[in-house]
Structure 1
Amino acid sequence: MTRNDLAPPTEATPTDRPDEATIILRLAEAVEQLTAAQAAADLELRCFTPAQAAALLGKTTNWVVEAIQDGRIPRTYVGKSPRLTAAHIRWIQSHGEQLPNQFAKPLAA
């Protein structure tokens, strides 16, 4: 054993430096945020078939197809096939909302 082995280290290790577990958790959170952002962007660019849109809206495929043919809901066409975007589905949801009538009979308490 030499004299240098017993001496205190010349450079103190910083105590505020994060450990490996903290770094791994931060990296995992960053990857999850990037994945979620990418998934949201993918949904915005995706076109849904009438069957897929019906499943999202809780309606039958026949209802969606008839609404497209009657021009009651927005749609786009890819070739000759009707498609709905995420914006179209949000429009259908928001325009189906009915607010209560201000002149309606109040509920009995």
Structure 2
Amino acid sequence: TPIIVIDFPCRLQSEKMVIDGNHRMTSKVIKNQDVNYVKLSIPDTVPLITQTFEKAWYLFAVELNAAIQLKTYNQRKNFLEHQSICKDFLMYMKNSD
């Protein structure tokens, strides 16, 4: 079974992130064996993440990276209000006042 590796969405401390196969990879590294892995893009990754929390964390990291890349406050505001998967939460917060 291949180890599934993706580009880390925020590129903070690492360029890659293992989303399936951490234990298999650790075992191979300890034994100084070659690690076979599959590198996936963001759209191909989401359906493979089966745990709700991990999927939510991953999508949050992807969106945070997208927002960080924007240059101005208005670009970020527009992204959060119209493109983000978090927009429903923002509308809920706005309407709960």
Relative to the length of structure 1, the TM-score reads: 0.24
The answer to which structure has the higher strand fraction is 2
Higher normalized contact order (CA 8 Å, seq sep 6+, divided by chain length): 2
